[in-house]
């Protein structure tokens, strides 16, 4: 190497080191939320080298922090062009897809990132969080354990692990973890809200309410504390609280997701304050906003229901011996908000029944993946499973193995109360002939009003936010259930919510008898059952049966005309 070449190399090294130092300076400014100063340096570096992977990625992170998601997406995509195996950029791109609720794309990004860098904790932790959102408990726990094993002192990983434990029915351990996190990081609001939620699921309402009350009064503008604060009918809002959130709802800069939560919270508040006129206005406004986030393809769902009927009209018999002695499944299904949680609470008060809650295992083993709005590819996979005895046997064995992972006391029955399993009743009869099937039904307008007035997690029940769509979907469900009852009339116990409320002991005894068990008086005192509850009925099932929800829709009749019309 001659003198000229050595000088050139030295100059290049000096320039590279200078750029690296500038990037570190920009990242430090970025971390301090000095966005304009950071952006100026990032852009200068970008102008010098438009293909610099790290600069492109941090420009993406900056724009994401500023809420400019399209720009962020563009920079992350450019970063991946510069470095196709950039696992960090794949993780960043996955977060954008998660924010935009494109969960399938997010899953691909996070999974590919982990495939490239098996010990990259941010992607592993994001996978745990995504599986939590998708209600896939086992996978959420698997990845959260891996993240904690790699970084045992990472508070975000520890928090995600606690959330995974909660959906895997291990509340006591989750609470202990969250208590320690709150001691170590007293300023972190996420850790506080997660602890309050865990206490609530455990039935420790006083402890939960105390956290919420204190934090709301400390700063009422933090939405995650406002939502549970107004759910408590004892809590009152001041004029300044209401004015702030009303203004937020009208502010174009506030994202729709937050506006939905605010509207739903104001509906609950005014409902508790016995002001149905104000409550009704926010109910309709919030649902319209929610539905505008993502349309529900009703025609696809109608064709899907018809396909299910046609498949089981001609389904081949699959001969399987009834071998299950312990942990036999009890499927509690029906439309959401039809009384499935109450049914499970009654049954799980029996010494021979363990209530496992809402499990996604049936859909997982069937090949369909998700029960609501599956793709054509998923429906085709389901049909292949039905036509392959080997796959059916594997599905049976896998389902029972997953179900019995909940059966620590080795009791006779384990209940699975995923409501939408009503779509898969024929599949249940095919692979699990020893299973008990309970179909919960409720007065149609009561059921639909309860759906319409409830904010579900994510977009899982998008049909329920549009009154016309909800009424038509309810009729789809009625038509499918008519088919199942005609086909399996003696094998489905129909639990009418109104009959249960009006004749609690008589109907409860019939329910237990259907499960071929001796009666136990604890089933009447279901509200004393300390098991974990993870549904919107969490407080109702901790109290004795009452009639408050029957006919509750009448207070909002003027706001429900489309729903009423479409249920006729």
DSSP 364-431: HHHT---SSS--HHHHHHHHHHHT-HHHHHHHHHHHHHHHHTT-TT--SEEEE--GGGGGGHHHHHHH
If asked whether residues 269 and 229 sit together in one domain, one would say: no
Long-range contacts of 108-116 (CB under 8 A, 24+ apart): 112/87, 113/87, 113/88, 114/87, 116/85, 116/87, 116/90
pTM for the complete prediction? Answer: 0.84
If asked whether residues 500 and 417 sit together in one domain, one would say: yes
Query: What is d(CA 159, CA 177) in angstroms, rounded to the nearest whole number?
Result: 8
Task: Say whether 22 sits in a helix, a strand or coil.
Answer: helix
If asked whether residues 367 and 395 sit together in one domain, one would say: yes
If asked whether residues 255 and 369 sit together in one domain, one would say: no
Give domain status of residue 73, yes or no: yes
* Contact (CB, 8 A) for 526 and 541: yes
pLDDT value, residue 534: 47
pLDDT value, residue 279: 97
Q: Which of 234, 250, 268 is the last residue of a domain?
A: 234
pLDDT value, residue 150: 97
Crossing angle of helices 137-150 and 155-167, rounded to 10°: 150
Cβ atoms < 10 Å from Cβ of 65? 13
If asked whether residues 190 and 262 sit together in one domain, one would say: no
- Per-residue pLDDT of 242-258, as tens digits, reads 999 999 999 998 999 99
If asked whether residues 176 and 49 sit together in one domain, one would say: yes
We report the CATH number of the domain holding residue 385 as 3.40.50.300
pLDDT value, residue 537: 47
pLDDT value, residue 528: 72
Structural tokens at position 514: 């259907």
If asked whether residues 195 and 242 sit together in one domain, one would say: no
Direct distance between the N- and C-terminal alpha carbons of the chain, in angstroms, rounded to an integer: 89
If asked whether residues 253 and 360 sit together in one domain, one would say: no
Give domain status of residue 448, yes or no: yes
pLDDT value, residue 13: 46
CA angle 215, 216, 220 (to 5 degrees): 130
Give domain status of residue 387, yes or no: yes
pLDDT value, residue 201: 87
pLDDT value, residue 96: 96
Residue 408: left (phi > 0), alpha (psi -120 to 50), or beta?
A: alpha
If asked whether residues 216 and 240 sit together in one domain, one would say: no
DSSP state of 32: T
We report the CATH number of the domain holding residue 91 as 1.25.40.10
Q: What's the domain count of the chain?
A: 3
Structural tokens at position 504: 């609690």
* Contact (CB, 8 A) for 430 and 392: yes
Taking 50 as the pLDDT cut, the residues of the chain under it are: 1, 4-6, 8-13, 534, 536-537, 541-542
Give domain status of residue 2, yes or no: no
Q: Give the domain extent around 69.
A: 23-234
Q: Which of 293, 309, 338 is the last residue of a domain?
A: 293
If asked whether residues 458 and 398 sit together in one domain, one would say: yes
pLDDT value, residue 316: 63
Give domain status of residue 319, yes or no: no
Lateral strand order in the sheet of 436-441: 353-355, 413-416, 328-334, 436-441, 492-496
Give domain status of residue 495, yes or no: yes
If asked whether residues 222 and 167 sit together in one domain, one would say: yes
If asked whether residues 180 and 222 sit together in one domain, one would say: yes
Q: Which of 194, 216, 234 is the last residue of a domain?
A: 234
Give domain status of residue 66, yes or no: yes
- Per-residue pLDDT of 507-555, as tens digits, reads 999 999 999 999 999 999 877 755 555 454 455 544 667 777 888 999 9
Give domain status of residue 142, yes or no: yes
């Amino acid at each position: 190497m001659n003198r000229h070449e050595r000088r050139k190399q030295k100059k290049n090294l000096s320039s590279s080191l200078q750029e690296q130092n500038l990037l570190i300076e920009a990242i430090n400014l970025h971390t301090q939320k000095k966005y304009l100063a950071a952006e100026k340096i990032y852009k200068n570096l970008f102008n010098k080298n438009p293909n610099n992977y790290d600069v492109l990625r941090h420009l993406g992170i900056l724009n994401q922090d500023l809420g400019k998601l399209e720009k962020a997406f563009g920079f992350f995509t450019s970063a991946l062009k510069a470095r196709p195996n950039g696992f960090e950029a794949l993780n960043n791109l996955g977060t954008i897809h998660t924010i935009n609720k494109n969960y399938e794309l997010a899953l691909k990004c996070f999974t590919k990132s982990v495939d490239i860098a098996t010990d990259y904790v941010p992607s592993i932790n994001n996978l745990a969080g995504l599986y939590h959102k998708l209600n896939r408990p086992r996978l959420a726990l698997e990845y959260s354990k891996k993240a904690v094993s790699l970084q045992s002192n990472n508070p975000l990983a520890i928090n995600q692990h606690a959330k995974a434990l909660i959906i895997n029915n291990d509340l006591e351990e989750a609470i202990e973890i969250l208590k320690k996190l709150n001691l170590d990081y007293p300023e972190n609001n996420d850790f506080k809200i997660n602890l309050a939620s865990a206490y609530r699921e455990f039935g420790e309402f006083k402890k939960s309410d105390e956290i919420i009350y204190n934090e709301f009064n400390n700063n009422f503008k933090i939405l995650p504390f406002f939502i549970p604060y107004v759910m408590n009918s004892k809590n009152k809002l001041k004029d300044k609280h209401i004015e702030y959130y009303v203004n937020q709802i009208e502010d174009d800069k506030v994202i729709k997701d937050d506006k939905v939560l605010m509207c739903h919270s104001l509906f609950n508040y005014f409902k508790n304050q016995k002001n149905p006129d104000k409550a009704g206005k926010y109910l309709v406004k919030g649902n319209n906003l929610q539905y505008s986030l993502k349309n529900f393809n009703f025609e696809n769902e109608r064709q899907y229901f018809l396909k299910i009927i046609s498949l089981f009209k001609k389904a081949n018999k699959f001969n399987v011996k009834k071998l299950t002695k312990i942990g036999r499944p009890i499927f509690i299904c029906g439309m959401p908000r039809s009384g499935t949680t109450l049914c499970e609470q009654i049954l799980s008060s029996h010494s021979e029944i363990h209530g496992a809650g809402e499990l996604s295992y049936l859909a997982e083993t069937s090949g369909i993946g998700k029960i609501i709005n599956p793709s054509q590819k998923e429906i085709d996979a389901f049909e292949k499973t039905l036509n392959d005895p080997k796959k059916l046997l594997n599905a049976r064995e896998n389902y029972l193995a997953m179900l019995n992972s909940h059966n620590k006391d080795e009791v006779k029955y384990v209940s699975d109360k995923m409501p939408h399993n009503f779509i898969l009743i024929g599949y249940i009869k095919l692979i699990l002939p020893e299973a008990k099937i309970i179909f919960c039904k409720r007065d149609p307008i009561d059921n639909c009003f309860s759906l319409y007035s409830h904010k579900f997690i994510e977009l899982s029940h998008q049909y329920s936010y549009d009154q016309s769509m909800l009424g038509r979907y309810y009729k789809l469900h009625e038509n499918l259930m008519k088919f199942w009852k005609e086909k399996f009339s003696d094998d489905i116990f129909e639990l009418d919510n109104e009959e249960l409320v009006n004749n609690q002991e008589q109907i409860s005894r019939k329910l237990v008898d259907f499960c071929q068990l001796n009666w136990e008086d604890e089933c009447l005192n279901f509200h004393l059952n300390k098991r974990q509850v993870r549904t919107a009925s969490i407080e109702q099932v901790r109290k004795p049966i009452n009639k408050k929800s029957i006919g509750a829709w009448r207070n909002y009749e003027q706001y429900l005309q489309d729903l009423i019309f479409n249920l006729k």
